[in-house]
Structure 1
Amino acid sequence: MSGQVNYLVEAPELGQECYVLHIQQDPFYSLFKWEGKYSEKRSLALHRVYPTKEDVERAAEFVKNFYISHKEQLNYLTSKPESGTKVWLDMDVIPAFDSPSIYFDYRDPFHQRLLKGCELYGTRENLIKDMSLITEALEEEYKKAH
């Protein structure tokens, strides 16, 4: 599909309801009221804030298809690292932080979920590269619609 992404370019009014898109192989979104927090402004700059449920659903579908069609270009971990290995989390997992890292523990259900959801990276650089690639793809899709 062409032109299916319609994110907010400017910050909404304080208290306005909008949706934030969480980027991962199986993207999801959540409804929130804009408070102008740092994490919200960061999400806005990364094209993750949408005015309507329909807009965010179309963007989620676009991202899901992007993961399928660009699998070879993306650098998320596809196999289990050794326990104790430092890995980086997708920035959308904890939006208040810029690429947090953890020491992988396969016994931890949260770590297992992150691995299965394609949200872990072997290097911070690979994480940044992938998020930039997805952000650029969202920008291009937005341009097609406007």
Structure 2
Amino acid sequence: MSGQVNYLVEAPELGQECYLLCIKPKPFYVLYEWRGFFFEKERLALHRIYPTKEDVERASEFVKDFFISHKEQLNYLTSKPEPGTEVWYGYGSNSKDIESANFNPKNTFHQGLLETFQLYGTREDLIKDMNLITEALEKEYKKAH
């Protein structure tokens, strides 16, 4: 994919429908009605708000491919941690978006996070990777604009 990421740069009109790209536990998106809240503006600055379903679908694929093709740069866990080990997951955009848990190998949610490259050994690794994804989305956007 080259230059096919088309996120919104400016806030949409109040009440306008747009799409929110989520990266937890794997890239997905939701239809959203813009309300102008502070957390929406944070998502806008992180290149997570898209004007159309097609745009957000391409971005979701881009992020999924990025996790696979840049695994040397990224710090997600690639093997099961010991049971009870503190692990981290979330969006990484602010402290409210990051959660920790004690790893439970029988927990299907924990297994899903591990299988979809969303489980981290430290909070800092999670934040670093989310910043790398934001930068990658920005570079991809600039190729087309």
TM-score, normalised by the number of residues in structure 2? 0.89
Q: Contact (CA 8 Å) 1:38, 1:96: kept in 2 or not?
A: no
Matched with 1:58 is 58
CA offsets per residue over residues 85-141 of structure 1, 9 Å max, x none?
11111317x988242212222222212211112111001111111111111010111
Cα distance in 2, alignment partners of residues 45 and 83 from structure 1: 36
Unpaired runs of 5+ residues, structure 2, are none
Unpaired runs of 5+ residues, structure 1, are none
CA offsets per residue over residues 24-77 of structure 1, 9 Å max, x none?
685211111112233322211110110001111111122122122211111111
Deviates more, 1:60-69 or 1:122-131: 60-69
Report 1:10-29 matches (<5 A).
10-23=10-23, 26-29=26-29
TM-score, normalised by the number of residues in structure 1? 0.88
Instruction: Give the length in aligned residue pairs.
Output: 145
Matched with 2:134 is 135
Cα distance in 1, alignment partners of residues 25 and 62 from structure 2: 11
Q: Which runs of 4+ in 1 moved over 6 A?
A: none
Q: CA RMSD in A?
A: 2.1
Task: Give SS of 2:58's match.
Answer: helix
Cα distance in 2, alignment partners of residues 111 and 38 from structure 1: 30
Task: Give SS of 1:29's match.
Answer: strand
Cα distance in 1, alignment partners of residues 52 and 34 from structure 2: 13
Read off the aligned partner of 1:90 and give its amino acid letter: G
Identity of aligned residues (%): 69
Report 1:37-48 matches (<5 A).
37-48=37-48
Read off the aligned partner of 1:73 and give its amino acid letter: Q
Cα distance in 2, alignment partners of residues 24 and 65 from structure 1: 15
Read off the aligned partner of 1:15 and give its amino acid letter: G
Report 1:1-146 matches (<5 A).
1-23=1-23, 26-91=26-91, 97-146=96-145
Read off the aligned partner of 1:135 and give its amino acid letter: T
Deviates more, 1:66-75 or 1:96-105: 96-105
Cα distance in 1, alignment partners of residues 143 and 15 from structure 2: 30
